[in-house]
Amino acid sequence: MSARWAETVSCGSDPCRTEGGPAGAPAHTGRPGGGRRGGAGRRAGEHTSRGRRGRTGRDRAVHDRSGRDRSGRDSSGQDSSGRDAAEQEEPVRSGAGRGRVLVARLDDAGDVLLAGPAVRAVRTLAAEVVFLAGPNGRAAAELLPGVDRVVEWQAPWIDHTPPPVSRNDVACLVGRLRGVDEAVVLTSFHQSALPLALLLRLAGVRRITAISNDYPGSLLDVRHVVDESVDVPEAERMLAVAAAAGFLLPPDDDGKLAVQRPLPDISARLGNTSGADKRTYVVVHPGTSAPARTWPADLHRQAVRELAEDGHQVVVTGTERDLTAHVAGDVAVDLGGMTTLAELAAVIEHAGVLVAGNTGPAHLAAAVGTPVVSLFAPVVPAVRWAPYGVPTVLLGDQQAPCLDSRARTCPVPGHPCLSQVTSEQVVKAVRELTQ
């Protein structure tokens, strides 16, 4: 694995500050590894490649109906940029090397972890993979195998607390992305890839692939259209986008979530907790990024006590120290506010089970192979966002009135989808996954 660092794009008194990497490093303008740019000037190019978890009958390519052929040239021999065909570079060929490829997923840590299989597919042909992440997803992006560099930027159309649109911030991002040969933009079903595609075009990116049910004009070269009424696991949805761009997982890749190895040594964090190598303790993570997805704190505390009475050692994790202290009480190890995301991955990897809501650590558990008791509020479909590829017991009323509302704060009095889940159900689910 090549050296990795992170750049933080931040505009202000220093219009383009970088952290963790060579400050002020010039933008790369070559094509590492001899890769060629491809698909220049094409609109809405069709794709026919299939990934192992790529296209199905539920998604399809949209053909260019502009009168241009599949190379992007019209009958005059010019492409959509107006240049003669003779001026075009050769198209991308399998195995030719694709240069510097940007993969973008701009929301939260769990979403970024679910992008892992798509990133690994891109890495099979890219000379370098740059990951564009939001502030909430940066640490997760730094854990993904196949990522060489991470650029952080807070997108006004994605972030939960969106910043105002700033000409300086936009110009800063465009400047940092110059030298990218190709981009694969990954989005959720309720997000648009087109604002970022426009900025990538301004940065000179020549080939862009994304899902778009809206007409993309000249913003996309490969437009992948899916039937959003059909729920597909988010990891598979993103892998299908990579496949549409021509990036396939190698035959020996199982397509599951993964993190960089080795993970940190967390023995000092666990203190006298035994069984770090035997998966005998249970991790309880009570926090979530949205109140609508949160099981009540008192029920977490009761479940921790009952798990201890059932013979389990319990470790409580999270960033809210008051919450973790309340939940841990005097019967569990409280690691609240004490772990980085990589250290949290190590803690979860050595656990027998994780108990958590629909939040980033549940996907971290999937990435390290730990079973999950998932306290899942149906504000988003479990088919899409339940822990992927690991044994999971799903708790919560999946037909509650908040179904598919995407609410961040519960819209139903009493929070019935999760408040009716009992601590006894959690203990029973833990037993089921550990026996």
pLDDT tens profile 329-365: 999 999 999 999 999 999 999 999 999 999 999 999 9
pLDDT tens profile 208-232: 999 998 999 999 999 999 998 899 9
Lowest mean pLDDT among 37-41, 233-237, 372-376: 37-41
Q: Is the pLDDT of residue 368 over 90?
A: yes
3-state secondary structure 295-313: CCHHHHHHHHHHHHHCCCE
Average pLDDT of the residues in 293-315: 94
Q: Is the pLDDT of residue 156 over 70?
A: yes
Q: Which one has a higher pLDDT value, 406 or 181?
A: 181
Helix (H) or strand (E) holding 130: strand 128-133
Identical fold for domains 5-244 and 267-434, yes or no, is yes
> Do residues 40 and 68 touch, judged by C-beta distance below 8 A?
no
Q: Which CATH number fits domain 267-434: 3.30.420.80, 3.40.50.300, 3.40.190.290, 3.40.50.2000?
A: 3.40.50.2000
Helix ranges (H only) for 70-164 are 109-114, 116-123, 138-141
Question: For residue 39, what pLDDT is reported?
Answer: 35
Lowest mean pLDDT among 132-146, 199-213, 274-288, 382-396: 274-288
Residues 6+ apart with CB under 8 A from 14: none
User: Where in the chain are the domains?
Assistant: 5-244, 267-434
Question: For residue 5, what pLDDT is reported?
Answer: 57
> pTM, whole model, 2 decimals?
0.80
Q: What is the chain's alpha carbon radius of gyration, rounded to the nearest angstrom?
A: 23
With a pLDDT cut of 90, the percent of the chain lying above it is: 62
pLDDT tens profile 232-285: 999 999 999 999 999 999 999 999 999 999 999 998 888 766 555 556 799 999
Q: Is the pLDDT of residue 106 over 90?
A: yes
Cα torsion through 149, 151, 152, 156, rounded to 10:
-140
> Considering the chain, what is the average pLDDT of its residues?
80
Kindly report the CATH class assigned to 5-244.
alpha beta
